[in-house]
Structure 1
Amino acid sequence: MTFEARELSPDRSVRDLFGAELRRYRERAGMSLRRLADVVNYSKSQLARIEAAESLPYDDLPAKLDACFGTGELFARLHALAKREPFPDKYCRVIGEIESKATTIKEYASATIPGLLQTRALAEESLRLGNPYASDAEIETLVQARIDRQALLDKPKPPRCWFILDEAVLRRPVGEAGVMRRQMSALVEAGARAHLTIQVLPFAAGGHAEAGGSLMLYTLPHQPLRAYEEGSHSGTIIEDQNDVTIRRENYDLLRAMALSPRDSAAMIRVAMEDWTPCEPPLT
């Protein structure tokens, strides 16, 4: 079967740019993937995935590519940038191509407050938990990238957003009590905005099909509905419309099981009071 090269979008991410440059220099040198694989001691399938921006190479490959093509430190520098990219893998496509253009965003969150609603303090605490070996500068880059996403909620014509929060995200501490209290206050304020609706799915609702992960549904102009499911370390864009329909039905059921927006705001206020830092005992 003939291999058909995937069309690349080098302006999408550094990872895509790495793949596009790899293909450009390989084709300029008149080398097939198999021939390049022999030269750099990689498998053809590995190189194909790297060219398609589906994976990053191991740390030894960029230097081999620079030596092979005589490109100085081009691939080494691109590789260093790609590893620090705030939104790697498929999530970069979700942020850059889908979320930023959506007219409607619907999200169910079971583990943490959605990034679009997080305060800076909660974002920092969450990202430190997920990146325990990152430097302060790397964490700050990730935090700022997350906060920058929220600008779409303040556009002149912002997307209509609907958030369903599992009760667990109100109760599980992330950082100190003060961080959680300020986050609950921010949720109350967000829920009062005309284009945002926040509902809480209480523990009493029981089990459901989307338990344990996060689900996003995106409506874009003149395009079919897209779904995105995310776990703690991976995410999947879903475009097959039969599969999207299943997720949409799951979301509709969650919305029916959740508290009303008014009752949800009341529960969030109760959680906010529960997160009031305790005063030290008098001595």
Structure 2
Amino acid sequence: MANTRRKAAWEYFGEELKRRREEAGMTQSELGQLVFVSGGYIGQFEQAFRKPQLDVAIRIDETLRTGGFFERTWHKLIKEKRYASYFEEVAELERTATKICDFAPLVVPGLLQTPAYARALTLESDPFATEASVQDTVDARIERAQILADATRPEFWVILHEHVLRNPVGGPAAMADQLDRIAAQIRERTVLVTVIPFAGGAHASAGGMLRLMEFEDAPPVAYTETSFAGTLIDEPAVVKRAQRAYDLLRGASLTPEASLDLIESAAEDHRRCARTT
């Protein structure tokens, strides 16, 4: 129900934006130029594909002379805190990315997590969280993963360290289910996963989580995250260094075929452990 309300809020904003833009006699490109985004962004706002940012809503008000309507609408209907502040923009950007590349040295990336795995991670990070809070976190994570089911889904590459496969988050049964789901997505060709084995050396897992994202009408970005903070990077030189680091990690990985074999073998190991406990 909460997800439906959020989607309805975005759609309301988009419908009003389209109506008032057309009343002003502007195309999407003309409005985008005046508020410093592309015409494609305006189209994504109008179709509720992208949640409007506050600063853009304010500039739209100024350009269309709507007396603060879009800023007020943003505050009343759209503002939400489903993610940590440092991840909010990343969650928005992944909705329009054409390619996403993740390196996960410790846990399964959010876009691949099962509900049981996501729940276990949430409780491990905050054992005093209320049930409502835990469920909202899990719902938000599973909702994000819907981009992989869309016809316009991004090309999704993932590099996992073998540690991710061996750590029984949520218990061995839940971990077996998680790895089975990853294997199924590999076979469905919604994601390409490679694994860096323990034999790959310490250098491969020395850094934290890394994500690269590419877009049709915007420069690529990089994102790094630790346990309590994340950094979105758009400086071209730094993004280029991050891309090179990802290429080196890919070079240390097993082939996709060998990686799938290792994932399925690890799933069976967890299943065997679940049967004996």
Superposed, 1:160-171 pairs within 5 Å as 160-171=155-166
Deviations 1:2-52 (A, max 9, x none): xxxxx9xxx657xx69xx9xxxxxxxxxxxxxxxxxxxxxxxxxxxxxxxx
* Secondary structure of the corresponding residue to residue 112 of structure 1: coil
Contact 1:12–1:93 (CA under 8 A) maintained in structure 2: no
Contact 1:12–1:92 (CA under 8 A) maintained in structure 2: no
Matched with 2:141 is: 146
Matched with 1:85 is: 81
Superposed, 1:1-283 pairs within 5 Å as 85-96=81-92, 98-208=93-203, 211-276=206-271, 277-279=273-275
Contact 2:161–2:205 (CA under 8 A) maintained in structure 1: no
Instruction: Measure the CA separation in 1 of the matches of 2:226 and 2:206.
Output: 11
Contact 1:107–1:216 (CA under 8 A) maintained in structure 2: yes
Instruction: Measure the CA separation in 2 of the matches of 1:163 and 1:189.
Output: 14
* Secondary structure of the corresponding residue to residue 100 of structure 1: coil
**TM-score (ref. length: structure 2):** 0.70
Structure 1 residue 212, shift from structure 2 partner:
4.0
Instruction: Measure the CA separation in 1 of the matches of 2:197 and 2:213.
Output: 24
Deviations 1:219-259 (A, max 9, x none): 01122110000111110001111110110000001111100
Matched with 2:10 is: none
Instruction: Measure the CA separation in 2 of the matches of 1:224 and 1:210.
Output: 27
Contact 2:99–2:214 (CA under 8 A) maintained in structure 1: yes
With over 3 angstroms needed to count, the CA separation of the structure-2 counterparts of 1:269 and 1:221, relative to structure 1, is same
**TM-score (ref. length: structure 1):** 0.68
Structure 1 residue 191, shift from structure 2 partner:
1.0
Structure 1 residue 133, shift from structure 2 partner:
2.2
Q: Unpaired runs of 5+ in structure 2? A: 1-35, 37-50, 59-74
* Number of positions where the alignment pairs a residue of Structure 1 with one of Structure 2: 210
* Secondary structure of the corresponding residue to residue 104 of structure 1: strand
Instruction: Measure the CA separation in 1 of the matches of 2:147 and 2:276.
Output: 41
Deviations 1:114-155 (A, max 9, x none): 011011100000011112221001100000000000110011
Structure 1 residue 172, shift from structure 2 partner:
1.1
Contact 1:184–1:268 (CA under 8 A) maintained in structure 2: yes
Instruction: Measure the CA separation in 2 of the matches of 1:147 and 1:210.
Output: 26
Contact 1:210–1:250 (CA under 8 A) maintained in structure 2: no
Contact 1:190–1:196 (CA under 8 A) maintained in structure 2: yes
Counterpart of 2:82 in structure 1: which amino acid?
P
Counterpart of 2:220 in structure 1: which amino acid?
L
Which of structure 1's runs of 4+ aligned residues deviate more than 6 A?
Answer: none
Instruction: Measure the CA separation in 1 of the matches of 2:128 and 2:223.
Output: 27
Instruction: Measure the CA separation in 2 of the matches of 1:241 and 1:160.
Output: 21
Instruction: Measure the CA separation in 2 of the matches of 1:208 and 1:192.
Output: 29
Q: Unpaired runs of 5+ in structure 1? A: 1-6, 21-77
Percent of aligned pairs with the same amino acid:
33
Counterpart of 2:123 in structure 1: which amino acid?
R
Q: Compare the two structures and name the one with the higher helix fraction.
A: 2
Contact 2:111–2:141 (CA under 8 A) maintained in structure 1: yes
